[in-house]
Structure 1
Amino acid sequence: MQRTEGDRQRRQNLADISTGHAPRLLPWTTDGGKPCLLSTDDEGGYVSRLADQMEDVQLGMGTEVLKHALEVLSDPKAAPGELRYAGTRLAECLKDALRVAESRGMRLPVSDSEEGTESPTPDAEASS
């Protein structure tokens, strides 16, 4: 029997309610570009540690790409291809950094006064 996406989501919601934890947004997506979520109890399991390491790599790559892009942008003789390449890599790194920020923001504790209010942060996946 094939499960629909709605069935999967309902099962996930029930699992989250039973554990008391919201799912963690992982730093990768499915082949179709859909977000991957991990239902975890924050005890630092294997997949959670792997996601932490991947986020660190993504942020480190962003730093390196930024350094390179600043060099290219400061060169008045930079070729259009170099500029396009730097811009494309910067956009990729920004997308990764926004996903890391969203994931980490979702894991911050919510105070009693903030419960029930919607987050003003736009969904990073909405623009992809």
Structure 2
Amino acid sequence: MRRLPWDGPEGKPAYLSADGRHSRLSRMADEVERAQLDTAQTVVRLARELLNGAEVAALDEVRFAALRLIECLTDTLRVAESRMASIPTQPDDPD
């Protein structure tokens, strides 16, 4: 089962049961993950610019940046969860 990079109805995790990573929905999930990670990079860059700027950032600007960062972190954690689930577990090393 693959954790999809979006939530299902009622905000619950959505999963894909497929034979491989080449189904249409799986490819779409890959594209969404790439877009989410690209967006996260952009938001982090812009938040850094806002907070490191010479001018004092307005409270509304900082709040907006914080909300976008939370959204991006949520998406990134969802992607990480999906990818960790696809990594095969290794047997414990007896040493």
Q: Is this a same-fold pair by TM over 0.5? A: yes
Return the offset for 1:43. 4.3
Say yes or no: does 1:99 pair with 2:57: no
Which digits, 9 at most, give the CA deviation of each residue in 1:15-54, with x for residues without a partner? xxxxxxxx10000112310010011112410000000000
Structure 2 unaligned runs (5+)? none
* Higher relative contact order (CA closer than 8 Å, sequence separation 6+): 2
User: After the TM superposition, which segments of 4 or more aligned residues of structure 1 sit over 6 Å from their partners?
Assistant: none
Among 9, 16, 30, the residue aligned to 1:38 = 16
- Structure exhibiting the larger radius of gyration computed from Cα positions: 1
1:51 & 1:73 partners in 2: Cα distance?
32
Structure 1 unaligned runs (5+)? 1-22, 115-128
Among 40, 44, 51, the residue aligned to 2:29 = 51
| Counterpart amino acid of residue 89 in structure 2 | V
TM-score calculated relative to the size of structure 2:
0.90
1:26 & 1:99 partners in 2: Cα distance?
8
Q: Number of paired residues?
A: 92
Q: Percent identity?
A: 43
| Counterpart amino acid of residue 70 in structure 1 | R
Partner residue, 2:59: 80
2:28 & 2:5 partners in 1: Cα distance?
10
Q: For the aligned residues, what is the CA RMSD?
A: 1.4
